[in-house]
Amino acid sequence: MLFPVVLIWGSVFSVIKYTLQEIDPLTFVAARFLGTSILLLALVYLMEGKPIVKREDWLRVALMGLSGIGIYQICFTLGLNYTTASNSSLIIATSPIFAALFAWLLEEEIITLRQIVGILLSFVGVTIIVKAGSEGLALTWESLRGDLLTLTAAVMNAFSAVIAKRPLERYSSLRVMAMGMMVGTLFLLLFGWRPLLTYPWGLLSWQGWLGLGYSILLASVIGYVVWFHAIRELGATRTLIYSSLIPIVAVLVAVLTLGEQFTPLHALGALIVFVGLALARLAPRRAEPALIKEGGHSDPGGDPNQSIEPEGRRR
């Protein structure tokens, strides 16, 4: 079931990039997640009853939705509007790196020397990817803003994954995701309600409707449900192995459908990012005591990404 999700999430970068030619980013993201929230809340109600969580869990669920849906989607969609689908997918792939940092800072997990090396390597890889997508040697705001917005999206995605870890111990992933999606969508509507109401939807082409429908039904609803079902059945670590395939699919689809250029410098940056991710994710189960944050939670089997994906994974 995960392989179709990899194909869906890998291709959604190009689908969104194409759809943004007709719909401005804020209108698109507001429409996409309003539709997604309605469908997910209905799904939770049909499968589990009333979509509610306890009062003491609302703060974490709200922060998850605000960072992982609201801020993330604005930065991701605007970033994708300015950068290439290839760059976007590769930069979003660094989310697990930031998740490891947040988990350590919030005393949810330990961090090892191998993870630190992986984090630094991934940042080097991202720098190379950004440089490969820039014009010549001049790293101007025009060439950087898309990649910087996408990098911010990766940070928000990581934070939401860590902050959602405790609610996921009490509720199903579908319930946590639906409630977080609702909070994030309300935030998005603060910026997108006016263009959402004034956009001439009757003039949208069938390709535009197809792209919007693909993003809502396949990438958001079905993709998220299957992904979190896999996390519950296989565990987060085994599931996240598949997320490394998403940028590969995304780059191939972007090259074939959008005519994007993939240079040797892109390939080098991607390779360094994936090596860094492997070092960070495949850290030894026992951490060096000197690197354990004092008072931290030393659960070697824990994973900060039991909630929302990636990159590319999410979409």
Q: Are 275 and 123 in contact (CB under 8 A)?
A: no
Predicted pLDDT at 310: 40
- DSSP secondary structure letter of residue 150: H
pLDDT per residue as tens digits for the range 225-278:
787 677 666 655 456 656 667 777 777 788 788 777 777 877 887 788 778 777
CA 194 – CA 27 distance, rounded (Å): 8
pLDDT per residue as tens digits for the range 27-48:
998 999 999 999 999 988 888 8
CA 300 – CA 291 distance, rounded (Å): 14
- Identify which has the larger pLDDT, 32 or 119: 32
DSSP letters of 12-64? Answer: HHHHHHHHTTTS-HHHHHHHHHHHHHHHHHHHHHHHHSS----GGGHHHHHHH
Predicted pLDDT at 235: 56
Predicted pLDDT at 244: 65
Q: Are 10 and 312 in contact (CB under 8 A)?
A: yes
Q: Are 301 and 284 in contact (CB under 8 A)?
A: no
Predicted pLDDT at 296: 41
pLDDT per residue as tens digits for the range 163-206:
877 887 788 878 888 888 899 999 989 888 888 899 999 999 99
pLDDT per residue as tens digits for the range 4-31:
988 998 899 889 988 989 998 889 989 9
**DSSP three-state, residue 284:** coil
First to last CA, the chain: 17
CA 80 – CA 286 distance, rounded (Å): 39
Q: Is the Cα torsion angle 86, 89, 92, 97 positive or negative in sign? A: negative
Total-model pTM: 0.70
Please give the torsion angle defined by the CA atoms of residues 46, 48, 53 and 57, in that order, rounded to the nearest 10 degrees: -130
Q: Are 306 and 165 in contact (CB under 8 A)?
A: yes
pLDDT band at 94; cut points 50, 70, 90:
confident
CA 219 – CA 310 distance, rounded (Å): 12
pLDDT beyond 60 at 98? yes
Predicted pLDDT at 213: 94
Which tokens sit at 146?
């898309």
Q: Are 99 and 160 in contact (CB under 8 A)?
A: no
| Helix 264-281 / helix 85-92 crossing angle, nearest 10 deg | 20
Helix (H) or strand (E) holding 158: helix 141-163
The domain segmentation of the chain, as residue ranges, is 2-291
pLDDT beyond 90 at 208? yes
Which tokens sit at 115?
């993870």
